[in-house]
């Protein structure tokens, strides 16, 4: 009888020690991986903000007013930017249809809607991108956004990716609006309105061409086509938005990695190990202690007691091994 309890206690203690040691190593590896992923996210978001915050502000300026008086971006209404892109588009179209011809409303006074939709989505991306900044929360990577604001950026980028495809309804409407607003005559030009220099750059306090400057300094591919990349046309703006979408895909991948790190079953391992120590070590050791009084216990009861301890210890050991193995499969 004594050999059974002694063997069970030693085996259970050894198994628990080995599993806890392995679990400790895996837990430390997960924490290290999480820190590395957070650092990558921090760098990607900081780079994204630094690259696009300023140029998006200028693009907003171009799109929020008539082409000859651009660079006059007003402060966006945060309540409006909280709405989804589809809700904003619907509201803008309704406003353009009901606009009072006698009342000047930038872009919508003649029933236009594509330009304000584009301007609003660019403003939305700019607004929430500008909120990327240092945070004291280490779990956020120290330089990030909360999930709600991050998803606002992603929504607008996905919306523009879909709505600004070639021959889409919005792009056709956008071409029509730019043609009318700028007085562009397709018959007098070999290129379309997208390449026409319809945006002025002589705004107050602006002596250079910030969008062209960005194309020269920040565009990944520095090979520009001078007659197309002028910084004063829709072609330049869409080129920037295309690169923005590509760069955001890297941010999005880093975001996913930083928020989908394997969830180590720490609590499960602690409680299961504690239970194994109780049934596999503590109770068997207690059974080895000789008590000063004589107690008659039948062999059947002792056998059932040993069977229960062995069965519970085996199940708990199997569960511990399965928990660790299942975690390593998901890593």
Element (H, E) at 143: strand 143-144
Entry field: residues in the chain: 331
pLDDT values of the chain reduced to their tens digit, one per residue, 331 residues: 688 888 889 998 999 888 888 888 888 888 888 888 888 888 899 899 999 998 998 888 777 755 444 433 444 566 677 888 888 888 878 777 776 655 544 544 567 788 888 888 998 999 889 888 765 444 444 556 788 889 999 999 999 999 888 778 888 888 888 888 777 777 667 678 888 888 765 555 555 788 888 888 888 887 888 888 888 888 899 999 999 999 999 999 999 888 876 677 778 888 889 998 999 899 888 888 877 666 676 888 888 988 999 999 999 998 888 888 777 766 5
Burial class (CB in 10 A: 0-12, 13-18, 19+), 232: buried
| Cα–Cα distances in angstroms (integers) from residue 233 to residues 142, 166, 169, in the given order | 38, 17, 20
Which pLDDT value is given to residue 108?
46
pLDDT in tens, 196-220: 888 765 555 555 788 888 888 888 8
Cα(62)–Cα(119) distance, rounded to whole angstroms? 8
pLDDT in tens, 257-276: 888 766 777 788 888 899 98
Burial class (CB in 10 A: 0-12, 13-18, 19+), 51: buried
Is the separation of the CB atoms in 22 and 324 below 8 Å? yes
For the whole prediction, is pTM greater than 0.75? no
Q: How far is CA 297 from the centre of its chain?
A: 65
Dihedral, 103, 108, 111, 115 alpha carbons, nearest 10: 160
Which pLDDT value is given to residue 138?
41
């Amino acid at each position: 009888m004594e050999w059974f309890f002694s063997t069970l206690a030693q085996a259970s203690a050894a198994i628990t020690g080995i599993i806890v040691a392995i679990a400790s190593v895996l837990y430390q590896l997960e924490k290290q991986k999480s820190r590395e992923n957070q650092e990558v996210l921090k760098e990607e978001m900081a780079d994204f903000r630094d690259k696009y915050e300023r140029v998006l502000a200028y693009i907003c300026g171009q799109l929020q007013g008539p082409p000859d008086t651009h660079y006059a971006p007003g402060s966006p209404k945060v309540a409006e930017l909280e709405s989804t892109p589809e809700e904003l588009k619907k509201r803008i179209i309704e406003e353009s249809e009901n606009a009072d011809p006698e009342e000047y409303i930038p872009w919508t006074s003649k029933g236009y809607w594509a330009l304000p939709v584009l301007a609003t989505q660019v403003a939305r991306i700019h607004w929430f991108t500008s909120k990327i900044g240092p945070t004291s929360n280490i779990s956020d990577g120290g330089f990030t956004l909360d999930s709600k604001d991050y998803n606002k950026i992603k929504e607008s980028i996905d919306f523009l990716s879909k709505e600004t495809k070639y021959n889409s309804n919005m792009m056709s409407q956008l071409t029509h609006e730019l043609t009318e607003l700028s007085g562009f005559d397709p018959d007098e030009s070999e290129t379309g309105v997208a390449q026409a220099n319809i945006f002025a750059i002589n705004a107050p306090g602006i002596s250079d061409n910030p969008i062209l400057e960005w194309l020269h300094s920040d565009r990944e591919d520095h090979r520009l086509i001078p007659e197309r990349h002028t910084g004063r046309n829709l072609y330049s703006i869409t080129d920037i938005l295309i690169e923005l979408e590509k760069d955001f895909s890297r941010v999005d991948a880093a975001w996913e990695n930083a928020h989908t790190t394997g969830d180590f079953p720490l609590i499960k391992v602690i409680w299961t190990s504690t239970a194994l120590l109780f049934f596999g070590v503590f109770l068997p050791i207690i059974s080895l202690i000789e008590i000063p009084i004589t107690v008659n216990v039948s062999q059947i009861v002792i056998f059932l007691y040993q069977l229960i301890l062995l069965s519970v210890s085996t199940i708990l050991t199997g569960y511990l091994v399965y928990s660790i193995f299942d975690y390593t499969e998901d890593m």
